[in-house]
Amino acid sequence: MPVMDFLRNRALKLFTGANNILMENRTPSYKDLENKFDDIDELGLYLHIPFCKQICPYCPYNKELYEFEKAKLYLKAVKSEVDYYKNLFGDKQVTSFYIGGGTPTTILYDGLYETLDYIYSNFNMQCGIHMESHPNDLSLKNLNTIKSFGIKYLSTGIEALEDKYLNFLKRPYNSNRVKEVIKNALSMDFDCFNVDFIFDLPGQTYKELEKYGDELVKLGVDQVASYPLFIFPYTEMLKIIGKSNFDISRIFRRRKMLSILENIFYSAKYKRTSVWAFTKKGFPKYCSVTVPLYVGLGAGGGTCLKDVFYINTFNVSEYINKMGIRLTQVHTVGKQISLRII
């Protein structure tokens, strides 16, 4: 066996516990899934909202520009997928629920509540909701609406605390707005309010980063998810930066910057709750699905059920066609890539 094959298999065994992974381009049958669900006691739920009011140049996630009519059809399709899973879930407890995107708050008044109500009416939901948002969607009125929907954990991507870096990232707000949003959200007493913050931006100095870390602590943010600017080959950012993530000087620079943030947050009694996240002492962490087995709803939603992992089609229109138009054919989940772990 070639050395690289040996190393790949060792890494696979280490990270998945499996000896091999078989990739298949097929849709799992309803009967297959019934067998998978038989011995599951609890599971998580992920809901993908793929709509954004603008496309950020660094974002690698499944998204497209928001259109009211398309979003309406999309949420109808999500309800159809809930119908598909309803009997499979039965009375099994859903103990973790995450809404990601895209930008979930694009549909705050255009179907989010009705979708959540449908999910809670059909599944045995035994958990709070973790949801992503956009700073421009977090007015006091909207924050009150979000709270009224039962969302206990909220995250927003502030990304930077200085106008020159916000402009570089093409974020449609300024640093004063960022601080106002943070203060307003913290006043709402969410169980945890998280901000995403990007470091290692072009020209950013260690002194600047130290200043930003101190500001976030001073503002009293419950949790900070601080990660370097990753360059993905299919985003506009690669054209802007023209460098990969694996430039050796960049790796050492990032390690130094992360060390600066670690020192700031540890000194302020934050604890490390993930690779990039620091959570204030006494607060539960904001995070994605927290249990090992979960179902993903929506375009690009991934589902993990012990020895199988499959993904819904990423194409929003195709997802709508498969789930929204063929509402009577509940056995059709849409085109999926299935990974069966051996």
| Domain span at 106 | 41-303
Whether the model clears a pTM of 0.95, i.e. scores above it, the answer is no
Helices marked H in 123-202: 140-148, 163-168, 175-186
Q: How far is CA 126 from the centre of its chain?
A: 20
Dist CA 197 CA 195 (whole Å): 6
Task: Please write the tens of the pLDDT for every residue from 96-154.
Answer: 999 999 999 999 999 999 999 999 999 999 999 999 999 999 999 999 999 999 999 99
Letter string b/e over residues 125-164, b meaning 16 or more CB atoms within 10 A of that residue's CB: bebbbbbbbbbbbbeeebbebbeeeebbbbbbbbbbbbee
Binned at pLDDT 50, 70 and 90, residue 331 comes out as: very low
> If you average pLDDT over every residue of the chain, what do you get?
89
| CA neighbor of 156 nearest in space, from 141, 178, 173, 175 | 178
Q: Which residue has the tokens 């539960």?
A: 284
**Is 2 among the domain residues?**
no
Is 18 in contact with 8 (CB distance < 8 Å)?
Answer: no
Using the predicted structure, report yes or no on whether residue 75 has a pLDDT greater than 50.
Answer: yes
| Cis preceding linkage at 220, omega within 30 | no
Using the predicted structure, report yes or no on whether residue 339 has a pLDDT greater than 50.
Answer: no
- The pLDDT value recorded for residue 5 is 61
What does the block give as tokens for 115? Answer: 């979708």
How many structural domains does the chain have? Answer: 1
**Is 140 among the domain residues?**
yes
Residue 96 in 3-state DSSP? strand
Which amino acid is residue 93, in one-letter code?
Q
**Is 114 among the domain residues?**
yes
What does the block give as tokens for 171? Answer: 């974020």
Q: What is the dihedral of CA 132, 134, 138, 143, to 10 degrees?
A: -10
Phi then psi for 38, rounded to 5 degrees? -55, -45
Task: Please write the tens of the pLDDT for every residue from 9-61.
Answer: 665 556 556 666 667 777 788 998 998 898 899 999 999 999 999 999 999 99
**Is 72 among the domain residues?**
yes
| CA neighbor of 45 nearest in space, from 294, 271, 245 | 294
- pLDDT above 70: percentage of residues in the chain: 86
Task: Please write the tens of the pLDDT for every residue from 172-209.
Answer: 999 999 999 999 999 999 999 999 999 999 999 999 99
Task: Please write the tens of the pLDDT for every residue from 271-312.
Answer: 999 999 999 999 999 999 999 999 999 999 999 998 889 999
Q: What is the dihedral of CA 219, 224, 228, 234, to 10 degrees?
A: -110
Residue 288 in 3-state DSSP? coil
**Is 35 among the domain residues?**
no
Q: Does the CA dihedral 182-187-188-194 come out positive or negative? A: positive
Is 82 in contact with 119 (CB distance < 8 Å)?
Answer: yes
Mean pLDDT of 210-224: 98
Residue 109 in 3-state DSSP? coil
Using the predicted structure, report yes or no on whether residue 267 has a pLDDT greater than 90.
Answer: yes
Dist CA 202 CA 212 (whole Å): 15
CATH code assigned at 104: 3.80.30.20
What does the block give as tokens for 281? Answer: 């002492």
- The pLDDT value recorded for residue 109 is 97
Task: Please write the tens of the pLDDT for every residue from 284-295.
Answer: 999 999 999 999
**Is 131 among the domain residues?**
yes
**Is 260 among the domain residues?**
yes
**Is 334 among the domain residues?**
no
